[in-house]
Amino acid sequence: MLNLKAVILAAGEGKRLRPFTYSEP
């Protein structure tokens, strides 16, 4: 799924920009 890949990329960038938003390891 293209959406899944986009979510993974967005999550990776989100962790860099907003690490406090994602509580994942």
Cα(13)–Cα(23) distance, rounded to whole angstroms?
A: 14
Q: Residue 16 class from Cβ within 10 Å (0-12 exposed, 13-18 middle, 19+ buried)?
A: exposed
How confident is the model at residue 23, as a pLDDT? 58
How confident is the model at residue 12, as a pLDDT? 76
1-25 pLDDT per residue, tens: 678 888 878 777 766 666 555 555 5
